[in-house]
Amino acid sequence: MQQKTHRWFTRSLVGLASVALSMTMVVADSSIARADEPSPTDPTTRPVVEESPTPDSSETPGTATPTQSPSGSPTAEPTSAQPSPDEASAEAEPAGVLENSLKDTSPSPLFAGENGELTARFGENQPGVEVWGEVWLPWANRWSRTASVRTDRTGQAKVALTWNPIAGTQRWRATARLIDGSLRSTPEVTIRRAAAIAQQPKGAEPGQDVTLSGTFDVAQRLSITPEVWIPSLNRWSRAATTTTAANGSFSVQLTWSKEHHGTQTWRVAAQLPDGRVVHTNETSVLRRRKPSVSRLRTLTVGQGAWTWGNFQTSEPITVWGEVWRTDVQDWSRSASVRSASDGDYSININFDIHRQGTQRWRIAGRHADGTIQYTDEFSVVRRPRPTVSKPRVLPARYPMHTFGNFPTDQPITYWGEVWRTDGQGWSRTAQYSTSRDGDYTLDLSYGNEHAGTLRWRIAGRYPDGSVVYTDEFTVHRTSPMHPSCMTGRVMCATKDDNRLWWVVNGQILESLEARFGKPGMDTREGMHTVKWKSRYHTSSIYNVYMPYAMFFNGGQAVHYSPGFAATGHIGAGSAGCINVRDEPAIARIYDQVRVGDRVFVYR
C-alpha cells in the first residue's frame, strides 16, 4: 500500500498527458499579452535578448527514489505483483518523460508587422506552469527568450510572436519550467511572415503621373487600395480600389494632388480572404517643383552667354544644357557642371555663337535617385552685330559724326559711350531713338576742342531689355585746321599731322593720310593752285606710276602712291609730291578738283 501511494504521488507530480504536436499562428489582439510583456515592435518595450538555458535532456525529472530495505539496500517492487489499470498506465510512461505540443488553428498567411501566437501545452490539467517563447538568433548562434506567461487550468499557454515581426522565416519553440525546476521545450516550428512591399518611386514634377509598384507575397489576387496621409486631417485618405495580379504584384497611379509640389506619404492596403487588412511599408513620393532658368536677352553674333537657375535639391547634382540641332533633329548636350548643394547652377550656352538666328535650349539636371528634370525651353536669339561707321581723322573743333544700324524692326534707344580721358570708365552721351529699321547717327562732340585720340562705342537697348554694343572705334583729331582752308575750294595739307583734306566752303569732304617730300626734296609750303591733271600719269624723271596726279608746283603733285599704300611711312618720304594711300578717296577728289582750285601746304 505504501508503494502504491508513493507511485501515485510521483505520477501526479509528473503525470503529463501525451498530446499531438502542432503549431498555432493567429493575429494577436493587444489584450492577449500581459501588461508587462515586452513588444518587439516597440523600441521601448522590445524584450531583452537573453540567452535561454538549454534543457538538459539527460536529466529525467520526477524520477522516484527506490525505497530502502531495513538493511539499507535499494529494493525493487515484486515482479509478481499485478498493477491496477491506473498503475499500469503510470508504469507505461517512462518516468520523468514530458510530452508537449503546439497547436495550429490560426489563419494564413501571417504578414510582416502582424503579431501571431503559439499555443503551447505541457501535459494536461497543469495550471500555473511558467512558459515562455524562444526564437533562434542565427547571428548570435543561440536562443533568445520572450516574456513569461503561465499555463491556464487546461495546461495551455499562449506565447506572443512579437519579436522582430519582419518578412522572412524564424525558428520558434516554447519552453516550460516544471514544478521540480527542470526545463522542457517543445519541438521547433518555423514561422514565415509574408512580405508586403511598396517600392520607392522616383521623384516627379507637379502634374506628372507617379507609379507605385510593389507586391504582396501571396499567390492570389487581392483587393488593394492606395492610401495617402493627409497631415491637415491627421489621417489616411483612400484612393480608388483595384486588384493585384495573380502573383500579388501591383502597380498603381498616384494622382492625388499631383498638381502641387512637395512630399506625400503613401502606402497600399490589401484585404486578405479571411477579412484581415494588411499594409505595405510607407513610402514617400516627392514632386519637385519645376527647375528655374534665367531668360536670356538678345545676343549678337559671336557674343558668348551664360544662364543660371535652381533645381530643388539638398545636395549637388549634375547639370548640363541641351540645344536642339536642326541638322540632326535631336537634342545635343553641352559639357556638364555641378550645382551647389542648394541646387543653384550657372552654365554657358555657347553653341554655334557665330551664326545668327534663334536656338532652342533647355537645362537638364540628374538627381541622386536617377530622375532627370528639365527646365522649360527657352530661346537664344543672336542678331547680326550692329554696324558703325569709322569716323575720319578731322581737325580739332571740327564737327564729327558717326552712323550705323541696329538690326531691328522697331525703333530702339541708343547712345554713345566714350572712354574718359582720366581712365575712370565709360561716359554716356544723351539717348536717342533709331529709325524703325534701326538706322542711327550720333554726334561725337566729346573732346573735340583738343587734338588726340578717344575710344568710342555705340550702345542700343532692345525691347527685351538687352543692351548691345557696336565694335569699339577710335576718334582721332589733329590740330585745328588753318583758317586759309575754311573758304572756297582747297586741298589743305598739314605736314605735322600727315593729313590732306578736300574742303569746299569750309566743309571737309574727304580726309586722307598723306606723305610729304623727304629732307632735301621738301614739299613746298604755302598757297598754290592746280595747274594741270593727269589720271594715269607716269613720271618721266623717276619712271614711277603717279595716278590721279594734280600738279600744283612744277613737278610736285598730289597723287596716289602704290608704294605708300603698301609700306606706309617706312622710308624718308617722297621726292616732293604729296602722296596719298586711299585710292578710292583720291579718285573722288580727282573727279571733283578743277584746274585753278587751291592747294595749301602748311606745318
Q: Are residues 550 and 573 in the same domain?
A: yes
Reply yes or no on whether the pLDDT at 75 is more than 60. Answer: no
Q: Are residues 490 and 508 in the same domain?
A: yes
Q: Are residues 463 and 405 in the same domain?
A: yes
Last residue of a domain, one of 193, 221, 237: 193
Q: Are residues 240 and 318 in the same domain?
A: no
Q: What is the dihedral of CA 434, 436, 439, 445, to 10 degrees?
A: -20
Domain span at residue 376 reads 298-383
Q: Are residues 486 and 597 in the same domain?
A: yes
Helix (H) / strand (E) containing 6: helix 2-14
Which one is predicted more confidently, 571 or 28? Answer: 571
Q: Is residue 432 part of a domain?
A: yes
Q: In whole numbers, what is the pLDDT of the chain averaged over residues?
A: 83
Q: Is residue 379 part of a domain?
A: yes
Nearest CA among 514, 517, 474, 522 for reference residue 497: 514
Strands 196-198 and 189-194, sheet pairing: unpaired
Mean pLDDT of 394-415: 95
Residue 26 has what pLDDT? 34
Whole-prediction pTM value? 0.57
CA–CA dist 327, 357 (Å, integer): 14
Chain-centroid distance, C-alpha 260 = 19
Query: Helix, strand, or coil here: 503?
Result: strand
Q: Is residue 429 part of a domain?
A: yes
Strand-by-strand arrangement of the 532-538 sheet: 526-529, 598-602, 489-494, 499-504, 507-515, 578-580, 556-560, 545-553, 532-538
Q: Is residue 313 part of a domain?
A: yes
Q: pLDDT tens-digit profile of 484-513?
A: 999 999 999 999 999 999 999 999 999 999
Residue 101 has what pLDDT? 58
Residue 551 has what pLDDT? 97
Q: Is residue 214 part of a domain?
A: yes
Residue 463 has what pLDDT? 92
CA–CA dist 495, 515 (Å, integer): 8
Reply yes or no on whether the pLDDT at 52 is more than 80. Answer: no
Query: Helix, strand, or coil here: 197?
Result: strand
Q: Are residues 472 and 529 in the same domain?
A: no
What's the number of CA atoms in the CB half-sphere (13 Å) around residue 353?
11
Mean pLDDT of 258-287: 94
Q: Are residues 486 and 594 in the same domain?
A: yes
Strands 378-383 and 299-300, sheet pairing: parallel
CB atoms inside a 10 Å sphere around CB 376: 11
Cβ burial 277-303 (10 Å sphere, 16+ → b, else e): ebbbbebebbbbeebbbeebbbbbeeb
Q: Are residues 474 and 486 in the same domain?
A: no
Q: Is residue 51 part of a domain?
A: no
For residue 191 the three cell numbers come to 514561422
Residue 570 has what pLDDT? 86
Strands 452-461 and 467-469, sheet pairing: antiparallel
Last residue of a domain, one of 461, 478, 495: 478
CA–CA dist 564, 581 (Å, integer): 6
Reply yes or no on whether the pLDDT at 102 is more than 90. Answer: no
Last residue of a domain, one of 264, 287, 310: 287
Catalytic residue list: 559, 577
Q: pLDDT tens-digit profile of 369-391?
A: 999 999 999 999 998 999 999 99
Number of compact structural domains in the chain: 5
Reply yes or no on whether the pLDDT at 231 is more than 90. Answer: yes
Q: pLDDT tens-digit profile of 439-496?
A: 999 999 888 888 999 999 999 999 988 899 999 999 999 999 999 999 999 999 999 9
Residue 35 has what pLDDT? 30
pLDDT > 90: what percent of the chain? Answer: 64
CB atoms inside a 10 Å sphere around CB 82: 6
Query: Helix, strand, or coil here: 419?
Result: strand
Residue 501's domain is classified under what CATH number? Answer: 2.40.440.10
Q: Are residues 371 and 396 in the same domain?
A: no
For residue 488 the three cell numbers come to 572756297
Residue 233's domain is classified under what CATH number? Answer: 2.60.40.1940
Reply yes or no on whether the pLDDT at 80 is more than 90. Answer: no
Q: Is residue 159 part of a domain?
A: yes
Q: Are residues 189 and 200 in the same domain?
A: no
Q: pLDDT tens-digit profile of 106-154?
A: 456 888 888 888 888 877 677 899 999 999 999 999 999 999 999 998 8
Q: Is residue 292 part of a domain?
A: no
- The DSSP letter of residue 219 is S
Pick the range with the lowest mean pLDDT from 59-63, 200-204, 346-350, 368-372. Answer: 59-63
Q: Are residues 422 and 507 in the same domain?
A: no
Q: Are residues 164 and 207 in the same domain?
A: no
Residue 11 has what pLDDT? 35
CA–CA dist 503, 494 (Å, integer): 13
Pick the range with the lowest mean pLDDT from 36-40, 170-174, 558-562. Answer: 36-40
CA–CA dist 187, 176 (Å, integer): 12
Pick the range with the lowest mean pLDDT from 58-72, 332-346, 573-587. Answer: 58-72
Rounded to a whole number of angstroms, the CA Rg of the chain reads: 53
Please enumerate in sequence order all residues whose Cβ is within 8 A of that of 123, keeping only pairs 6 or more positions apart, or say none. 15, 16, 17, 98, 99, 100, 155
